[in-house]
Structure 1
């Protein structure tokens, strides 16, 4: 809308409102409960991986080296 005249600008599209469905529509507490169950199941089945401090350190070094080479922030 044009703030001066109160008319719609032809170049602007109306904002579409998406309705949340499924997991996104759930209460955040319920989402955490479901995610927690999935994490526990992964650990029980042996599919979850927990990094050792050495693995985490090596991964961090690789990430920082790659970020310095490309000039980006390591947190990106």
Structure 2
């Protein structure tokens, strides 16, 4: 089964739950706690967090390098 079929089936299930009145909708406090819990779980994976930081640093470094090159060449290139 491809991803599109799975999404369609899941969507129909969600719609049925809402019509039946059994679907759960998060309030803002529940959503905040769920997001915090997920963030804590991800943060425990040190290798993953290291990779994220490295990727951000590389992106920032290349952007700074590009800005310096543009400034040196006159500036109005993009």
Query: TM-score band, normalised by the shorter chain?
Result: 0.3 to 0.5
**TM-score, normalized by length of structure 2?**
0.41
By percentage of residues, which structure has more helix? 2
**TM-score, normalized by length of structure 1?**
0.41
Higher relative contact order (CA 8 A, sep 6+): 1
